[in-house]
């Protein structure tokens, strides 16, 4: 089975702005589950385990797609290791919510969550993620998670390096600043608008998914940027 990551640039699951993408994610989960009811595991670490976020996810994935959902809460309480492992073993898809990317990655490494995610991915469990949950897998990420005395600042940061590439979520809002960084530093990068996603299979970007937004491949040739819309994966 292919190892899949669905990287969503942004959107509001509670307002169903990513519903067409969610439909494809649900289809991947049901494909893996076969004849039984599919299970989805939601990871809200980046939002510091904000439960209303999970509730919105549950309403969409259970209410619309008839997928059983669960949540991995690790920020404010020490999880039972065996129970947490069982949640991952049951999952037919893992969905990583948005929020503070840097905090999320550091917390995963500190608590052992990253190892559980890696093991699930190795078993072929699809991983979907929005914003922070979309970009963390890449080698270099454009994030506002770096905190300074003047507040949050946009900057490049090292991701988990599962996928070689430079990435920005919310590309429609961050386009000008991200393009400048690409222009002076990188030969190629990707920008994902809200309500758009990249589909990655076995570590390679194979196309895009959309609920109205677009994903772009940005090519830098001697300081001149050429933007190409990533073609639909289906």
CA–CA separation, 130 vs 25, rounded Å? 12
81-123 tens-digit pLDDT: 999 999 999 999 999 999 999 999 999 999 999 999 999 999 9
Mean pLDDT of the chain: 95
Residue at 64 is within a domain: yes
Number of domains in the chain: 1
Give me the pLDDT at residue 27, please.
98
Residue 234 is assigned to a structural domain of this protein: no
Question: Would 120 be classed as within a structural domain?
Answer: yes
> With a cut of 70, which residues of the chain have pLDDT below it?
146-152
Is the C-alpha dihedral spanning 36, 95, 52, 115 positive or negative? positive
Closest among 74, 86, 1, 90 to 37, alpha carbons compared: 90
Range of the domain at 103: 4-229
CATH number, residue 94 = 3.40.50.880
At residue 69, the pLDDT reads 98
CB 97 within 8 A of CB 133: yes
- Structural domain contains residue 140: yes
pTM of the model: 0.95
């Amino acid at each position: 089975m292919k190892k899949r990551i669905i990287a969503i640039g942004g959107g509001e699951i509670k307002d169903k702005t990513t519903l067409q993408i969610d439909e494809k994610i649900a289809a991947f989960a049901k494909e893996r589950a076969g004849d039984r009811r599919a299970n989805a595991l939601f990871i809200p670490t980046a939002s510091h385990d904000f439960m209303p976020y999970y509730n919105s996810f549950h309403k969409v994935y259970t209410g619309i797609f008839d997928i059983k959902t669960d949540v991995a809460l690790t920020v404010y309480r020490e999880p039972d290791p065996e129970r947490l492992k069982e949640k991952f073993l049951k999952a037919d898809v893992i969905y990583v919510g948005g929020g503070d990317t840097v905090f999320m990655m550091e917390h995963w490494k500190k608590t052992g969550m990253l190892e559980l995610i890696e093991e699930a991915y190795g078993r072929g469990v699809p991983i979907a993620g929005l914003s922070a949950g979309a970009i963390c897998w890449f080698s270099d990420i454009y994030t506002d998670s770096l905190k300074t005395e003047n507040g949050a600042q946009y900057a490049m940061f090292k991701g988990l390096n599962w996928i070689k590439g430079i990435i920005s979520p919310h590309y429609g809002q961050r386009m000008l600043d991200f393009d400048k960084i690409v222009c002076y530093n990188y030969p190629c990068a990707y920008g994902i608008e809200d309500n758009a996603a990249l589909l990655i299979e076995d570590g390679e970007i194979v196309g895009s998914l959309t609920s109205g937004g677009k994903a772009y491949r940005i090519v830098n040739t001697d300081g001149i940027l050429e933007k190409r819309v990533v073609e639909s994966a289906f």
